[in-house]
Each structure stands twice: as C-alpha cells, then as structure tokens.
Chains A and B, each alone.
Chain A
Amino acid sequence: EDQVTQSPEALRLQEGESSSLNCSYTVSGLRGLFWYRQDPGKGPEFLFTLYSAGEEKEKERLKATLTKKESFLHITAPKPEDSATYLCAVQPSIQGAQKLVFGQGTRLTINP
C-alpha cells in the first residue's frame, strides 16, 4: 500500500533558525513527489514537484530534495511568515491514476 509519513508532526523554530522537514514514502512506483504549503482555512499552495532521485529545487528560503525513499524540505533562515503546515504528497505511477497520497503534514511555527 502506498504510504507517506511526515516528521516531525510539529516544529517550533526561532526566526533565522534553519531546519529540515522529512517526508518518507513507500510507493509501488513514483511518478512525482509534491510539496505544498497550507495556511489555516485555505487550500494548499503548490511549492515543488520532484520526479527522480537526486533532484533538487529551490524557491526563496525553501529547498526540496529527493531520494529513493524520502524527501526533505530545507528551510534556511526562516521568517515568521513561513509559519504554515507543509504537506508532502506522492503520485504513484499506476497507469491512468493521477491521484495524490498525502502525508499528515508538519505544522511549522516560526517565532520572531
């Protein structure tokens, strides 16, 4: 069964304190791994798509990396506005299936 596990569940950091969020996955075949940011009461906002092991993508203070078993979202010198829930999802490579399997998310709080 395809499964995504994110850790930690919640993380509190001081402004400027860099850290990483983990997304471990088991999937029969990986079509893509996605990172989203979700603010309270809003829909998820797309951040990154990674397709193959070794791939990396960056956007401002965020950098996503991918291995064959996990993905990391590195946050460098975070600011309070980076506080949100970060969701990881995988898209299995089952023919015709486009649905995503989501992890439970990591609630990130950045204190000023």
Chain B
Amino acid sequence: GAVVSQHPSWVICKSGTSVKIECRSLDFQATTMFWYRQFPKQSLMLMATSNEGSKATYEQGVEKDKFLINHASLTLSTLTVTSAHPEDSSFYICSATGRVRGTQYFGPGTRLLVL
C-alpha cells in the first residue's frame, strides 16, 4: 500500500519551454501533496505544499509564477516548470499523505535536464 507514482521519470527540454510533472497516489486519497527539489549529494528541499482544491503554499524563495502547482483531485497533483532554464535542472520529487499526522510517501522522482 501507499504507492506514489511520478511521470515522467526523465525529461529533457530546451531552454524557454515549459515542463509538466505529474504525481499520483495510486492506492490512497492524498489530502496533501508536497513537492521537493534535490541537488546531487544534498538533502530534500521543500518547494511547496498543496491541498486538494486549494492554492499551494510555497516555501520562501520559491517563485510561484515559475513553479505552478495544481492539486486537482485527491489522487493527482502537477508541477509545471514554466520557461525552464538550465539552472532549473534538478531532481524533483513529490510526496503524499492521507492524514494530518500521516507519513509522507514519496514518488520515484523526475530528473529534469534543461538544455
């Protein structure tokens, strides 16, 4: 149980284009989903928290207009990197939880390379 999927697992795009990453909870309803970014050999950096049907809460320093988050249903959240630049290249990971005190279950991650 508690499986979270992400799609795509790998994406390469040209500078200036937008990229959408999907995060799905496969076997439970996720009241809250989280988006993280991870640089090589570093820990996870929380970007934003999203609750189903409401606007995402972004961490300090994360550009809302650049990283668009939509949590359209209890099983799906999307992260869109708009006008991507090489410095946006990173490993993006989502997680989901079904309860207030609940454990966060992580997806397998999406590696983004912007050329």
Contacts and interface: CB of A to CB of B under 8 A. Distances in A.
Contact of A105 (B43, B97, B103): B43
Contact-residue size bin, chain A (C-beta under 8 Å from the other chain): 20 to 34
Indicate the member of B44, B97, B111 with the most A CB atoms within 10 Å: B44
Interface in A97-112: 98-100, 102-105
Interface of B: 2, 4, 6, 32, 34, 42-44, 46, 49, 91, 93, 95, 97, 100-109, 111
Contacts, number: 51
Contacts of A49: 103
Given A31-B101, A98-B100, A43 B46 contact: no
Interface of A: 31-32, 34, 36, 41-46, 49, 87, 91, 98-100, 102-105
